[in-house]
């Protein structure tokens, strides 16, 4: 059972908001979605949870197990997860978000592209993220810091709790947001509990006022948005973390790499076997194996095998190489294919044509379409809060991709007689979206200067 907005309304009516606050945060922290988000953060920081928790054991003949303290235990984590998610996010948002009306972007503020990129990235790895529009700035609330409260009837986000703690042993701060404003709370002690008390009273989202002659600020009123100014963005239609389904493949790759390094370290040494030192029972065989792994020296009974008594012989074990390299290449290819990402190694060799490059991007384009639909929905909801709707609220994306720039430039120049100057600049692969306006402005200034400097043509005499 999850807590909903209706449960919050009942707590308000009963005057039991503090207990509800503690219960909602505790429930959110204990959810599967929260745990998955924490694990995704670990993989995003190149810390493979499976590999890092892997420990080698020795099985004793008694049936007990002991940690093998002498065996190599390299733990190598790849950077696949961060790289793949960065590629998907920058593919659509690396050049920022644009609008047909340049004034719309101005209303979102100069930091919108940076804040929205961070929000979209969290939406990918956590399955969802929340954006709080605070008058002129977008603030990012990751799933690991925000407990949403949905309406039981229509599933709409009606309220939520942002919570954080600077470090362990410090008080937790929580802000409760609903459609009428927000209230700030903080725990009384510095433990891990949720014994909250109110530290800032409830107030509306927008404060109106005027500047006084003395340099102060006089409040004239308070306002709220038409809806809750916190909007959820999903990472995809699947509504799940990108780690789902990818974790096992990444673990397999990292375990093979780590095992390869461990075997090289362990098998690079010589094993010494002392022969003709007595027979061995099953228990002795198990002890022999454990001792060989641990100390690289053990005794063996080779009577009747034509060897010298009590001889000491060295043995070297070769590590299989080709099969592991082949498997690592196979699993790497599978990781890129399953994620729908582009492995640049596939197009780096030789001078690829524009058609070949387009074909290589097919899987990325399909995933980008899904991702951009989530972006469009979120941005339009933000713009609706500030009164921008209709065609003006439709965002434009310029995908960040490798291209055969010479071939594309030649194609654009062939079509140049039929295109205006702005369209030509916008289509050129080596001109960014932000540079188009500056180039056009500079061209206009140069043309105006040339017009002023050009001498006026003398009028030809006319016979009367």
Q: Which of 248-262, 391-405, 426-440, 447-461 has the lowest mean pLDDT?
A: 447-461
Note the pLDDT of residue 249: 94
Confidence of residue 144 (pLDDT cuts 50, 70, 90): very high
Ranges of H-type helices in 268-321: 282-295
Note the pLDDT of residue 300: 56
Contact 452, 117 (CB under 8 A): no
The segment with the largest mean pLDDT, out of 173-187, 329-343, 417-431, is 173-187
Domain range annotation of the chain: 248-332, 404-451
Percent of the chain whose pLDDT exceeds 90: 48
Contacts of 269 (CB under 8 A, 6+ apart): 296
Confidence of residue 305 (pLDDT cuts 50, 70, 90): very low
- What's CA 58's distance to the chain center, in Å? 38
Note the pLDDT of residue 404: 57
Note the pLDDT of residue 217: 67
Nearest Cα to 392, choosing from 95, 97, 107, 104?
A: 104
178 or 362, greater pLDDT: 178
Residue 72 has pLDDT above 70, yes or no: no
Residue with tokens 């008058």: 135
Note the pLDDT of residue 108: 94
Say how far apart CA 157 and CA 174 lie, in whole Å: 18
Neighbours of 326 (CB within 10 A): 10
Neighbours of 427 (CB within 10 A): 15
- Report the pLDDT averaged over residues 170-196: 90
pLDDT digit string, tens, across residues 24-52? 999 999 999 999 999 999 999 999 998 88
Confidence of residue 310 (pLDDT cuts 50, 70, 90): low
Contacts of 219 (CB under 8 A, 6+ apart): 207, 208, 209
* Rounded alpha-carbon distances, angstroms, from residue 196 to 14, 31, 166, 191, 405: 17, 21, 16, 12, 59
Residue 379 has pLDDT above 80, yes or no: yes
Confidence of residue 440 (pLDDT cuts 50, 70, 90): confident
Residue 161 has pLDDT above 60, yes or no: yes
Note the pLDDT of residue 269: 52
Say how far apart CA 400 and CA 88 lie, in whole Å: 10
Residue 248 has pLDDT above 90, yes or no: yes
Note the pLDDT of residue 61: 47
Note the pLDDT of residue 64: 56
Contact 247, 43 (CB under 8 A): yes
The segment with the largest mean pLDDT, out of 36-45, 182-191, 254-263, is 36-45
| Mean pLDDT score across all residues of the chain | 83
Q: Which of 64-73, 205-214, 259-268, 334-343 has the lowest mean pLDDT?
A: 64-73
Residue 103 has pLDDT above 80, yes or no: yes
Strand order through the sheet with 230-234:
138-142, 128-133, 230-234
SS3 content of the chain, % helix, strand, coil (to 5): 45, 20, 35
Residue 277 has pLDDT above 70, yes or no: no
Note the pLDDT of residue 59: 52
Note the pLDDT of residue 319: 62
171 or 64, greater pLDDT: 171
Residue 17 has pLDDT above 50, yes or no: yes
pLDDT digit string, tens, across residues 278-301? 555 667 666 766 776 666 666 655
Q: Which of 14-23, 196-205, 207-216 has the lowest mean pLDDT?
A: 207-216
Residue 344 has pLDDT above 60, yes or no: yes
* Rounded alpha-carbon distances, angstroms, from residue 264 to 167, 216, 292: 40, 71, 16
Residue 219 has pLDDT above 60, yes or no: yes
């Amino acid at each position: 059972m999850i807590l909903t907005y209706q449960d919050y309304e009942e707590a308000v009516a009963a005057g039991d908001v503090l207990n509800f606050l503690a219960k909602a945060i505790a429930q959110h922290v204990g959810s599967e979605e929260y745990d998955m988000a924490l694990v995704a953060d670990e993989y995003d920081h190149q810390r493979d949870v499976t590999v890092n928790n892997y420990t080698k054991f020795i099985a004793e003949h008694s049936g007990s197990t002991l940690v093998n303290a002498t065996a190599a235990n390299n733990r190598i984590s790849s950077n696949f997860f961060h790289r793949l998610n960065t590629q998907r996010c920058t593919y659509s948002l690396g050049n920022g978000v644009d609008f047909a009306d340049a004034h719309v972007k101005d209303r979102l503020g100069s930091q919108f592209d940076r804040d929205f990129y961070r929000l979209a990235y969290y939406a990918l790895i956590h399955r969802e993220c929340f954006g709080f529009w605070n008058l002129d700035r977008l603030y990012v609330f990751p799933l690991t810091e925000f407990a949403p409260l949905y309406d039981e009837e229509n599933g709409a986000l009606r309220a939520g709790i942002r919570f954080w703690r600077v470090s362990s042993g410090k008080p937790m701060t929580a802000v409760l947001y609903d459609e009428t404003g927000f209230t700030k709370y903080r725990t009384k002690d510095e433990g891990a509990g949720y014994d909250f008390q109110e530290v800032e009273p409830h107030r509306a989202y927008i404060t109106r006022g005027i500047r006084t002659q003395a340099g102060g600020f006089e409040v004239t009123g308070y306002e709220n948005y038409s809806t809750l100014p916190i909007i959820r963005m999903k990472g995809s239609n699947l509504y799940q973390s990108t780690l789902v389904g990818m974790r096992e493949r990444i673990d397999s790759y990292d375990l093979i790499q780590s095992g390869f390094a461990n075997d090289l370290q362990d098998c690079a040494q010589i094993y010494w076997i002392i022969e003709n030192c007595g027979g061995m029972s099953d228990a002795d065989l198990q002890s022999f194996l454990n001792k060989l792994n641990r100390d690289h020296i053990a005794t063996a009974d080779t009577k009747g095998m034509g060897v010298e008594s009590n001889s000491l012989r060295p043995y070297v074990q070769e590590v299989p190489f080709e099969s592991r390299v082949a498997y690592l290449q196979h699993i790497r290819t599978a990781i890129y294919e399953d994620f729908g990402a582009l492995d640049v190694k596939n197009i780096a060799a030789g001078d690829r044509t524009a058609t070949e490059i387009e074909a290589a991007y097919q899987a990325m384009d399909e995933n980008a379409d899904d991702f951009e639909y989530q972006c469009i929905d979120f941005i339009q909801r933000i713009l609706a809060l500030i009164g921008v709707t209709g065609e003006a609220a439709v965002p434009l994306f310029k995908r960040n991709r490798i291209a055969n720039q010479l071939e594309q430039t030649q194609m654009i120049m062939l079509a140049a007689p039929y295109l205006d100057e702005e369209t030509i600049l916008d289509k050129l692969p080596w001109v960014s979206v932000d540079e188009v306006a500056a180039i056009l402005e500079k061209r206009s200034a140069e043309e105006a200067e040339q017009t002023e400097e050009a001498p006026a043509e003398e009028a030809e005499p006319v016979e009367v």
